[in-house]
Amino acid sequence: MLLFESPAAMPRDFGPSAVSIGKFDGMHAGHRRIIAELRAVAEAEGLQSVAVTFDRNPLSVLRPELCPAPLLSNAQKVELLDESGLDATLMLEFTEQRASQPPEDFVREVLVDTLRARVLMVGADFRFGSKGAGDVALLEQLGEEHGFRVQRIDDVVDGERRASSTWIRELLDAGEVDEATRLLGRPPAIRAVVVGGHQRGREMGYPTANLSHDVEGFVPADGVYAARLIIDGEKYGAAVSIGNNPTFEGVPDKTVEAHALDQSFDLYGKTVGLEFVKYIRPMNKFPDADALVRQMNADEIRIRSILGL
The one-letter amino acid code at 303 reads I
Question: Hey, what CATH topology would domain 2-162 get?
Answer: Rossmann fold (3.40.50)
Confidence class for position 264, pLDDT limits 50, 70, 90: confident
Mean pLDDT within 124-138: 88
Q: What is the mean pLDDT of the chain?
A: 91
pLDDT at 203 over 60: no
pLDDT at 162 over 80: yes
DSSP label at 67? P
Domain boundaries, the chain: 2-162, 188-307
DSSP for 132-201 reads G-B-HHHHHHHHHHHT-EEEEEPPPEETTEE--HHHHHHHHHTT-HHHHHHHHTS--EEEEEEE----HH
- Higher pLDDT: 245 or 237? It is 237
Distance between CA atoms of residues 194 and 201, nearest Å: 15
The one-letter amino acid code at 3 reads L
Coil/strand/helix, residue 261: coil
* Global pTM value: 0.90
pLDDT at 245: 67
Name 89's bridge partners: 3, 51
Distance between CA atoms of residues 111 and 96, nearest Å: 20
Q: How far is CA 205 from CA 119, 264, 290, in A?
A: 58, 12, 11
pLDDT at 250 over 60: no
Coil/strand/helix, residue 62: helix
Q: Give 268's contacts (C-beta < 8 A, 6+ positions apart).
A: 194, 195, 196
Mean pLDDT within 178-191: 96
The half-sphere exposure of 215 on its side-chain side, counting CA atoms within 13 A, is 21
pLDDT at 15: 87
Beta-strand pair 189-195/209-211: antiparallel
**166 and 136 in contact (C-beta within 8 Å)?**
no
pLDDT at 156: 82
**129 and 102 in contact (C-beta within 8 Å)?**
yes
Q: Are the folds of 2-162 and 188-307 the same?
A: no
Distance between CA atoms of residues 121 and 22, nearest Å: 10
Mean pLDDT within 258-264: 91
Coil/strand/helix, residue 48: strand
pLDDT above 90 covers a percentage of the chain that reads 75
Confidence class for position 280, pLDDT limits 50, 70, 90: very high
- Higher pLDDT: 87 or 127? It is 87
Mean pLDDT within 19-23: 94
Just give the CATH number of 188-307.
2.40.30.30
Mean pLDDT within 149-154: 91
Confidence class for position 17, pLDDT limits 50, 70, 90: very high
pLDDT at 251: 54
User: Going along 102-142, which residue ranges are E strands?
Assistant: 117-123
pLDDT at 276 over 80: yes
pLDDT at 118: 98
Distance between CA atoms of residues 49 and 17, nearest Å: 6
Name 17's bridge partners: 48, 117
71-118: pLDDT as tens digits: 999 999 999 999 999 999 999 999 999 999 999 999 999 999 999 999
